[in-house]
Amino acid sequence: MKLTKKTNILISSLLLVMTAVLTIISGLDFKKFADYETEFVLRENIITRVEKFSKYSPKLEKTVGDSDIYIIEGEEPGPSVLIIGGTHPNEPSSQLTATLLLENIIVAKGTVYIITEANKSAFTHSQPQEASSMYYHIATMNGQRTFKFGSRATNNTEQWPNPDIYVHRTSGQKLSNIDTRNLNRAYPGCEDGTYTEKVAYAITQCIIQNNIDVTIDLHEASPEYLTINAIVAHQRATSVAAKAAFKMDMEGVLISVEVSPTNLHGLSHRELGDFTDTLAFLCETSNASQGKIRGKFTEDLIITGEDKFYQKASELGVLYAAPVHLNERVARHVLSILSILNAYNDIYGSNERGKFIVNDIPTYENIINNGIGYYLLDSLL
Contacts of 97 (CB under 8 A, 6+ apart): 83, 85, 218, 330, 333, 334, 337
Reply yes or no on domain 43-375 having CATH 3.40.630: yes
CA dist 336 to 5, 21, 362, Å?
A: 69, 49, 12
Q: Using CA atoms in the order 119, 122, 124, 129, what is the torsion angle rounded to 10 degrees?
A: -170
Q: For the chain, what are the domain ranges?
A: 1-35, 43-375
Residues forming a β-bridge with 282: 217, 232
Determine the Cα–Cα distance for residues 190 and 124; give it in Å rounded to an integer: 22
Task: Return the SS3 of 147.
Answer: strand
Count of CB atoms within 10 A of residue 256's CB?
14
Q: What is the pTM of this model?
A: 0.94
Per-residue pLDDT of the chain (381 residues; tens, 9 = 90+): 566 777 878 877 888 888 777 778 767 877 888 899 999 999 999 999 999 999 999 999 999 999 999 999 999 999 999 999 999 999 999 999 999 999 999 999 999 999 999 999 999 998 767 788 899 999 999 899 999 999 999 999 999 999 999 999 999 999 999 999 999 999 999 999 999 999 999 999 999 999 999 999 999 999 999 999 999 999 999 999 999 999 999 999 999 999 999 999 999 999 999 999 999 999 999 999 999 899 999 999 999 999 999 999 999 999 999 999 999 999 999 999 999 999 999 999 999 999 999 999 999 999 999 999 999 997 554
Nearest one of 82, 86, 49, 80 to 67, comparing CA atoms = 86
Q: H or E segment at 175?
A: strand 174-175
Query: What sign does the dihedral 231-234-238-244 (CA atoms) show?
Result: negative
